């Protein structure tokens, strides 16, 4: 296993540990680890209802894990394909329809008065797109993951659980556990 891959696994394991520590504090055990939501000078969170703020605190850990996982997968794809195919990997290794979809998103974003999401087109993709990239280039990823079916299964399952997280809905305790277990499974299938 490459040093970079070992480092990523170490980081993901630490994220899971951090999530467990956060959960302890959410359960009332003060270990001084988790930071609370800080008041911002621009937006006072106290203007929102108490139950809404409590839900946000519950989902904070899951959003954090989701953000880390999805961007870790993207970085793995970037590093793997860039190392093997150079800077033009996106144009040569990503299916044309997916490149077109991403370009459409990027064009729409240009008409907005906000900062560009990223210079890297892969940051306009979701789990389904990431599965497609890995599957279409499986020979390049087969030494990183146990098998393509396990990659597809886990990323599809995580994509389903991602939806309520990304759209500000609450997950019940079973789904929270399932999400965390799938992240552990993701770490487990990496070689």
pLDDT tens track, the chain, 191 positions: 677 777 777 777 777 777 777 777 666 666 655 454 455 567 787 888 888 888 888 888 899 999 999 999 999 999 999 999 999 999 999 999 999 999 999 999 888 888 888 889 999 999 999 999 999 999 999 999 999 999 999 999 999 998 999 898 999 999 999 999 999 999 999 97
Give the predicted TM-score (pTM) of the model: 0.77
Q: For residue 56, what pLDDT is reported?
A: 85
**Domain boundaries, given as residue ranges, for the chain:** 3-188
What distance in Å separates the CA atoms of residue 184 and residue 167, rounded to the nearest whole number? 23
Distances (CA, A) of 139 to 135, 144, 191: 9, 10, 14
């Amino acid at each position: 296993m490459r040093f970079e891959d070992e480092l990523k696994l170490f980081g993901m394991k630490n994220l899971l540990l951090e999530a467990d520590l956060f959960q302890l504090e959410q359960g009332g055990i003060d270990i001084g680890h988790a930071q609370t939501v800080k008041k911002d000078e621009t937006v006072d969170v106290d203007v929102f209802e108490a139950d809404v703020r409590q839900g946000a605190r519950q989902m904070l850990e899951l959003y954090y894990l989701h953000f880390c996982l999805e961007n870790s997968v993207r970085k793995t794809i970037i590093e793997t394909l860039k190392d093997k195919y150079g800077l033009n990997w996106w144009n040569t290794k990503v299916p044309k329809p997916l490149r077109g979809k991403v370009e459409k998103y990027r064009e729409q974003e240009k008409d907005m008065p906000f900062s560009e999401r990223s210079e890297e087109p892969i940051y306009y993709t979701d789990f389904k797109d990431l599965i497609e990239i890995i599957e279409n280039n499986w020979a390049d990823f087969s030494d990183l993951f146990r098998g393509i079916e396990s990659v597809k299964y886990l990323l599809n399952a995580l994509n389903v659980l991602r939806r309520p997280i990304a759209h500000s809905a609450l997950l019940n305790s079973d789904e929270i556990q399932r999400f965390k277990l799938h992240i552990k499974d993701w770490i487990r299938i990496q070689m």
